[in-house]
Structure 1
Amino acid sequence: MSVSVEVAMTEGALARPAPLACPGAGAVVVFEGVVRRLEEGREIDALVYEAYQPMAAAELRRLAERTAAEFGLLAVRVEHSTGRVAVGEVSFRLAVASPHRGEALAALGQFIDEMKRSAPIWKAPAFRVGESDGVGARKPDGA
């Protein structure tokens, strides 16, 4: 069985995606990571993402292929932002298609946990004026 894997690194916020069409899928599950208003207990205007893009894209692909094989997925689409992403905007999206919902839901959680540990993607909060002296220290995306 052939698995469809798509990986994209995009500058800025992610646009609305096309639906993940997959014949044979009984479940298509989409997770979107949205920049929240508070980071480290303080208000922010945005998060600024940095990535070593060739390595990050390769790692996202490796994780997608491994997750697809482990959970019997039919398709995986992963998108991650780089650059500045404002509060309320989408910075990460993972869509998976599977014959059954249980595998799709389990795959989402495992992929995200692994990505946060292994992908060379970092984020730094852009604090609101008056909250700090600007952009905070970089930390791994999962921190």
Structure 2
Amino acid sequence: MMSVQVRLTDGPLSEMVDMPTTHGSGARIVFDGIVRPMEDGATIEGLDYEAYRPMAEQQLAIIGNDLVEKHGLLMMDIEHSYGFVPNFACSFRLVIDSKHRKEGLKAMDEFIDRLKVDVPIWKRAQ
């Protein structure tokens, strides 16, 4: 059973909770996007994310479903922040279960590239 879950969360994401492994999974890929204390050479306190939420959720799900089908993934869990996220906190998390590592790693890289282009979430340094 393929499944894609999408959540937009106000503020920083909490620590990842244990998720049950998907039946048939041989690899779990977890990517956490962390706010850096420097942006374009300047020190910042964090990032303020603005999202057009209905469309952002829809686009995240479309990308997720496309990649689950394309790479034969078993599960994808997508979470992105909106609002203020301080330095060193997590603002984006992508969890992928796949039969083998290669398709999971390819999907992770492709997801992040598409996120930056297709999803209406914008960041501003604070």
Q: TM-score scaled by structure 1?
A: 0.86
Counterpart in the other structure of 1:4 = 3
CA distance in 1, matches of 2:50, 2:6: 17
CA-to-partner distance for each residue in 1:49-81, whole Å, 9 max, x for gaps?
A: 000000000000000000100111000000000
Given the alignment of the two structures, is residue 41 of structure 1 paired with residue 41 of structure 2, yes or no? yes
Higher relative contact order (CA 8 A, sep 6+): 2
Distance 2:65 2:108 in 1: 13
Unaligned runs of 5+ in 1: 127-143
Counterpart in the other structure of 1:92: 92
Q: Does 1:103 align with 2:103?
A: yes
For residue 92 of structure 1, report the CA deviation from its aligned partner: 0.2
Structure 1 residue 106 displacement after superposition = 0.6
Report the Cα distance in structure 2 between the residues aligned to 1:39 and 1:18, rounded to whole angstroms. 29
Amino acid at match of 1:74: L
Provide the aligned C-alpha RMSD in A: 0.7
SS at match of 2:97: strand
Bigger radius of gyration among the two: 1
Task: Give aligned pairs, total.
Answer: 125
Structure 1 Cα separation of the partners of residues 6 and 36 of structure 2: 24
1:24-39 paired onto structure 2 within 5 Å: 24-39=24-39
* Cα distance in structure 2, aligned partners of 1:108 and 1:19: 19
5+ residue gaps, structure 2, are none
Offset at 1:16?
1.4
Paired with 1:19 and 1:94, the residues of 2 have a C-alpha distance of: 14
Residue 116 in structure 1 maps to residue 119 in structure 2: no
Runs of 4+ in 1 over 3 A off after TM superposition: none
